[in-house]
Amino acid sequence: MLTLRDGGRTHFVEGGGELGRLIRNHDWKKTPLGPLANWPQSLKSALSICLHSTFPTAIYWGPELRLLYNDAWAPIPGERHPSALGKPGAEVWSDIWDVVGPQFAAVLESGEGFSTFDQLLPMLRNGVRQETYWNYSFTPIHGEDGTVQGVFNQGHETTAQVLARREAEAEIERLGALFELAPSAVAILGGKRHVIEVANAAYESLVGRTDIIGKPIADALPEVVSQGFLELLDRVFDSGEPFVGRAVPVALQRNADAPEERLVDFIYQPFDDVAGTRVGIFVQATDVTEVARAEDALRASEAKYQAIVDSIDQMIWSTRPDGYHDYYNERWYEFTGVPHGSTDGEEWNGMFHPDDQDRAWNIWRLSLATGEPYHIEYRLRHRSGQYRWVIGRAQCVRDQNGNITRWFGTCTDIHALKEAEEKRQLLLREMNHRIKNLFAATSGMVTLTAKNAPSVAAMAGTLRGRLAALAKAHDLVRPAIATEEGLDQKAALDTLVNAVLEPHLDPYIEQQVCVEGPAVALGSSASTSLALVFHELATNAAKYGALAAAGGGVSVRWSVSAETLDLDWREYVRAGDVSEPKTSGFGSTLAKSSIAGQLGGTIGFRWHADGVQVAISVPIDRLER
């Protein structure tokens, strides 16, 4: 094994599938990277993560951005694999380097990460340049001296989705234009007052008016009331039965002169929402005085339009030129759970997270004013009540004179992707924070032991015990992503509290802590979250609070009801000069995140002159997980 041949200096490339084997067998001495055993630790760590990830991952290292990657990433370069291994990035991706090269350079220079979605990359495949699209991110890798030495790359191809979406949006635009330009007069009347919600140009031409949208039929076309059409509309709405008229004479006030009689074929078709509630009447009319009927063609076109937009696995919406939202497909209502029509007009902005509403509204107004595409990430309220991250996009449609006639937009749920990235960042910060606390606790433990030990032998024995207890406590706060066996075993709450506190106690001082409460069994996830919180509280107590100086003490008591576990953590100090911190550190933020985010509970801090009180409440059903 490699670990026997080189003393363990290349264990980081063990396993890793086919790419792990190729990397182990590659002659790295002929490259600027040099032998595997001499690679810097930062590169070793990054490569170990890369090889054991199931997500397409690559590493670009050194001034030439030499390429390393895992099995999941291998299909991306196509025929360039496996010769791409160890080659400079500019050589491997010469066909797209004009796009990705500046992106790499910006990350290397700034030390800031970069991500992009649906990025166009005109890539050569089998000698043919193809239009491809990608979601990917570049993350800087810092070397031992703190400078950026490489780039961590993850991503996947989205060409199929982009092209499918483009085709669907083009078809939607075509069908929408067909609806607007249909030779038959079409209108949608909403509610019992028969408010004109939609009317195409042919309808406006038929009735001889253009200012009818948003008005009840009785106000928009008062001349039809005495002719019995309002009564007919009421009967259709109440009964749910459609009405078809053939060559019906209608006197319309089309100009300032006397009413003009036209012969009209028309249908009044009531329609319901998904809950079966009557919401309006669809009106289709053909002036058979001048043009041929187009009823069948219009119905077929509308059915095709609705089938397409409802078959796409995205939320689709459209607005008038002024931005008034007047259409959403069924995916929107399935996702949000709101009643049909409740987000029309400007009500859509109320579906966004309060922190995102002003930003979304400002960007939308800018697009309306300039005609520029609309693109934004925001949190949208799901039918479950949770806010989920989505990408919103919209494009305008212009007429032959360049005037905007409609806006068509989509919303895409990216919540899982955002959560995965946030969890990764939190894990990295948690690891860094925990290591710092570990060294601080160990340093303080050595100092405290040396101060109170009667002999070197006693000091060594005490120190060994404390370090063992500290290791045990840190084992309890292993990340929830661990995959070791036995994670389904239960842990006792009192054992957990004592294990976390033990490394911070002075064996020569009695009654430093008091732990009381009924027996409570904790599942693996709950044990991890609570151990992390107790560890943060105990570490702070040892560094700044009740366990930092003689005379202090900690009391941990809890009670259990049918619904919650209520735990009270109190610290007492002799000096009596405790004050509330002016800022919230990462430790307290992490504790709040563990209780609220992972356990669905609450945590509160109260500061007194002689100590601090921490109140924790967690639902009972969350303790078993």
Residue 254 to residue 204: CA distance in whole angstroms:
10
4 falls in which pLDDT band (50, 70, 90)? very low
Q: Which of 69, 65, 226 is nearest to 140 (CA)?
A: 65
Per-residue DSSP letters for 320-340?
A: -TT--EEEE-HHHHHHH-PPT
Q: What is the mean pLDDT of the chain?
A: 84
How confident is the model over 545-569, as a mean pLDDT?
A: 89
Q: What is the mean pLDDT of residues 208-233?
A: 93
Q: Which helix (H) or strand (E) holds 566?
A: strand 564-572
Phi, psi (deg, nearest 5) at residue 44: -60, -45
CA-based nearest residue to 149, from 92, 68, 37: 68
What integer pLDDT is reported at residue 479 of this predicted model?
46
In this predicted structure, what is the pLDDT of residue 478? 54
* 590 contacts 528 by C-beta, under 8 angstroms: no
- Decide if 537 contacts 559 (C-beta within 8 A): no
pLDDT of residue 372: 94
Highest mean pLDDT among 8-22, 218-232, 480-494: 218-232
Environment class of 625 (CB within 10 Å of its CB; exposed 0-12, middle 13-18, buried 19+) = middle
Within 10 Å of residue 102's Cβ, how many Cβ atoms?
Answer: 10
Q: Which of 111-115, 310-314, 365-369 has the lowest mean pLDDT?
A: 310-314
Question: How confident is the model at residue 376, as a pLDDT?
Answer: 92
Instruction: Give residue 293's pLDDT band: very low, low, confident or very high (50, 70, 90).
Output: very low
User: Per the structure block, which two tokens stand in for 128?
Assistant: 């043919």
Return the pLDDT at 347: 87
Who's near 15: CB < 8 A, 6+ residues apart? Answer: 51, 52
Assess whether pLDDT exceeds 60 at residue 184: yes
| CB contact at 8 A, 329 and 310 | yes
313: confidence class by pLDDT, cuts 50, 70, 90: confident
**Which two three-digit tokens encode residue 33?**
């990277």
- DSSP secondary-structure letter at 64? T
Give the mean model confidence (pLDDT) for residues 269-288: 90
Q: Residue 618 and residue 344: Cα distance in Å, rounded?
A: 40
Choose the weakest-confidence range: 1-10, 148-157, 401-410, 539-548. Answer: 1-10
Q: Which of these ranges, 124-138, 227-241, 417-431, 433-447, has the smallest mean pLDDT?
A: 433-447
- The answer to whether the CB of 267 falls within 8 A of the CB of 243 is yes
Q: Which amino acid is at 437?
A: N
What whole-number distance in Å separates Cα of residue 299 and Cα of residue 53?
52
Rg (C-alpha) for the chain, rounded Å, is: 34
User: Does 505 score more than 50 pLDDT?
Assistant: yes
Weakest mean pLDDT among 127-141, 243-257, 406-420, 575-589: 575-589
Q: Determine which of 169-178, 236-245, 250-259, 333-342 has the lowest per-residue pLDDT on average.
A: 169-178
Predicted confidence (pLDDT) at residue 509 exceeds the cutoff of 80: no
CA dist list (Å): 261 to 108, 183, 184, 201: 76, 19, 18, 19
Mean pLDDT value of segment 342-353: 88
User: Distance (Å, rounded) from C-alpha 58 to C-alpha 578?
Assistant: 50
pLDDT 10s digits, 142-164: 999 999 999 999 999 999 999 98
- Is the pLDDT at 183 greater than 90, yes or no? no
Mean pLDDT over 550-564 rounds to: 90
Q: CB under 8 Å to 604, separation ≥6 — which residues?
A: 614, 615
Q: Which of 375, 367, 407 is nearest to 391 (CA)?
A: 375
Distance CA 297, CA 182 (A): 9
Instruction: Please tell me which of 380-389, 469-478, 587-596 the model is most confident about, judged by mean pLDDT.
Output: 380-389
> Which runs of consecutive H residues, i.e. helices, occur in 214-318?
217-220, 229-239, 295-311
**pLDDT recorded at residue 297:** 46
- What is d(CA 341, CA 327) in angstroms, rounded to the nearest whole number? 8
- Find the length of the chain: 625
Phi then psi for 561, rounded to 5 degrees?
Answer: -110, -175
H-helix or E-strand spanning residue 42:
helix 41-51
Confidence (pLDDT) at 440: 56
Q: Tell me the pLDDT tens digit for each residue of 26-75.
A: 999 999 999 998 999 999 999 999 999 999 999 999 999 999 999 999 99
Spatial neighbors of 272 by CB under 8 A, at least 6 apart, are 240, 278, 279
Question: What pLDDT, on the 0 to 100 scale, is given for residue 531?
Answer: 80
Would you say residue 189 has pLDDT above 90? Answer: yes
pLDDT of 366:
94
Look at residue 173 in the predicted model and tell me its pLDDT.
65
Residue 246 structure tokens: 């053939």
- Which tokens belong to 293? 């009927």
Q: Is the pLDDT of residue 292 over 50?
A: no
Higher per-residue pLDDT: 534 or 445: 534
Confidence grade of residue 482 (pLDDT, cut at 50, 70, 90): very low
